[in-house]
Amino acid sequence: MSGLNPQQAAAVAYRSGPLLVLAGAGSGKTKVITEKIVRLVREDHLAPNKIAAITFTNKAAREMRERVGKLMKSEQAQELTVCTFHSMGLKFLQIEHEAAGLRRGFSIFDSDDSTSLLKELLPKGAKPDVVDGVRGLISRAKNDVLSPEQAMAAARSPREREAAEIYAEYQRRLGAFNALDFDDLIRLPVALLAGSEDLQRTWRERLRYLLVDEYQDSNPAQYAMVKLLAGPRGMFTCVGDDDQSIYAWRGANPENLNQLSVDYPNLRLIKLEQNYRCAKRILRAANALIANNPHEHLKALWSEHREGEPIRVFECRDDEHEAERVAAEISHLAEKHRAPWSDFAVLFRGNHQSRPLEKALQLLRIPYHLAGGTAFLDRGEVKDTLAWLRLVANPDDDAAFLRAVTSPKREIGSTTLAKLGELAGQRHEGLLKAAERNEVLKVLPARPSAALDGFVQLIRRFRQLSNALPAADLCRKLIEDSGLLAEVRATSRDDSLFQRRRGNLEELAGWLEAARGGGGPGELAAQLALLSHADRDDPGESVRLMSLHGSKGLEFRYVFIVGVHEGSLPHDASLDEGKIEEERRLMYVGITRAKELLHLSYPKRAKRFGEVSKNEPSRFLSEIPAAELHWVGRDAEKDAERREDVAAASLAKLAALFGD
């Protein structure tokens, strides 16, 4: 197998039973997965539509599909299932909707929809943290594959019992709306498969081989889905790295890696330990750090890359000084190496740490992109349009109705909507269906009744058009005829903002145009609802500012990790909860993003609650061998070399400026 090292080749070749590939950072795991798919088709003569590759982000799925597409016939690549767990669940439920008690064209509630519904169910005036807490408990129950009844039985505190009660009513409301939330996309298929051997047989025949990426990030429900789809034969390859498990806070369970050997005693284990990303010095530092965590399966990453420069550590006066030093260093390296801005990343533990960095980069006119800004699907005009599309696709989607009927603004206020909701409840039907009834409209005041009737007529017209027009064309016509575009124009402070927002709407139509599959706007809108927010966030030619969590899966020539001090990394909250191992894994992930050069920094002083306190350097710095670090300002010889380097670069810049 050309281009594969012996361990990678072994992982690709083994296709006769369950396989766990422990793939260290930068070890070429995606190459293994894509090559294995090709071999399954070419050598095992397995039909492409019988293979499913499951990833954790839509971006990873797209990249994997593109890579497979370069290795096999395009028509074969098109038949493959390459998707996220949630997309897999959606596909399952679209096929098995009757077994799930759903009508065709069901809706998917996003986080805002779920939050709005929970606010209705909680006592009036419930604070946001209370709403978020209940939502988190319900989500955790679903990720543990617990029904409302099971969640109540498992409750151990008044808070959990209250959440279980609300969970039951929350599910009843979702059912009435013919809707699901994201967690249901995994929980419900698992529940249906677990309860039906016929479904298990059907889906095991439909998907004969599974490949699962980033398996250490799976939660109990996702593990159950894999096990139910794979069956006792275990025709799967799971790829993961226990050292990169950093999502326990959202339900990930790295123990799933160990559980595989319990459930599948014949499980084969292959380690990928050759790193193709990092300089040797960076890799030694990462290995030394992570060795302080306990391991079921110890890995020793190695590299054939060059030695690399020492890891630079900056002790700074405060966070502003830290940001200035980072910005100056980025400017220097970009000039010296003629490196594009996209070669640089600045990583931090918490998003609040980005503020001084943004200021410092702006002063030096360095373009940057802050990951986690307003995501495309969170933009108001996009959410408004999606609400209209969802309602056209599913008249029972009350959440979509409530947003669409007030976007654009018409003479329909909360009082009218509350009255409409009351009347709809009495009739046990959705809001749109109630609004279509003359006897309901007559009960309402004249002006809002007329506005509501006009809205109903528009929806009726778009539903008719949806049978004749492609989804993208329907979307464009809806944007124009609904008044949404006029609303965008009226609420934009200047023409440039209007053009940007109109461009967002056109991009949405473009997504519908490019969306795979069919079945009308309902299924396409559901697919759009699954898109993770970061997936369509294109940073362009700029320095990347992002959290350590957000950096996973990425790599950069030059990496800066800021705030490497006690209380920040490791974080105080994690220390209080005894989660030092996960914090160490987070640091490990950050270090292994760097290909050539790594900078670590921390402010010696910090202002908290109006008082200045002293920061201690992170314990993680002491866990990295001293020989791999250059503490800037402490080593006279290395500092002198550094000053000469900067001076030479400055002279070169001046010479270029004056054409010398």
81, 84, 222, 244: which one is catalytic?
Answer: 244
User: Which residue, among 275, 272, 103, 249, has the nearest Cα to 174 in the 3D structure?
Assistant: 103
593, 595, 596, 628: which one is catalytic?
Answer: 593
Q: Would you call 29 a catalytic residue per the annotation?
A: yes
The pairs formed by 300-303 with CB atoms below 8 angstroms and a separation of 24 or more are: 300/273, 301/24, 301/25, 301/27, 301/273, 301/274, 301/275, 302/273, 302/274, 302/275, 303/274, 303/275, 303/276, 303/277, 303/278, 303/279
d(CA 205, CA 368): 48
Task: Return the bridge partners of 368, or none.
Answer: 543
7, 29, 312, 343: which one is catalytic?
Answer: 29
Q: How is residue 396 written in tokens?
A: 């029972």
Supply the DSSP symbol for 80: S
Burial (CB < 10 A; 0-12, 13-18, 19+), residue 200, is middle
160, 181, 214, 322: which one is catalytic?
Answer: 214
Task: Return the bridge partners of 239, or none.
Answer: 21
Q: Would you call 244 a catalytic residue per the annotation?
A: yes
Q: Do the Cβ atoms of 82 and 219 come closer than 8 Å? A: no
3-state secondary structure of 605: strand
d(CA 190, CA 184): 9
Which residue do the tokens 């053009």 mark?
Answer: 499
Q: Which sign does the torsion angle of CA 484, 485, 490, 494 carry?
A: positive
Q: Do the Cβ atoms of 618 and 567 come closer than 8 Å? A: no
Q: How is residue 194 written in tokens?
A: 């677990």
Q: Would you call 30 a catalytic residue per the annotation?
A: yes
How would you classify residue 156: left for phi > 0, otherwise alpha for psi between -120 and 50, otherwise beta? alpha
Q: Would you call 296 a catalytic residue per the annotation?
A: no
Q: Do the Cβ atoms of 405 and 455 come closer than 8 Å? A: yes
Q: Would you call 214 a catalytic residue per the annotation?
A: yes
160, 183, 213, 436: which one is catalytic?
Answer: 213
Neighbours of 520 (CB within 10 A): 15
Residue ranges with strand state E in 453-593:
543-547, 556-561
d(CA 346, CA 206): 44
Q: Do the Cβ atoms of 615 and 603 come closer than 8 Å? A: yes
Neighbours of 111 (CB within 10 A): 14
Q: Do the Cβ atoms of 204 and 197 come closer than 8 Å? A: no
User: Which residue, among 8, 1, 21, has the nearest Cα to 236 in the 3D structure?
Assistant: 21
Q: Would you call 84 a catalytic residue per the annotation?
A: no
d(CA 518, CA 242): 38
30, 34, 81, 527: which one is catalytic?
Answer: 30
Q: Which residues are catalytic?
A: 29-30, 213-214, 244, 593
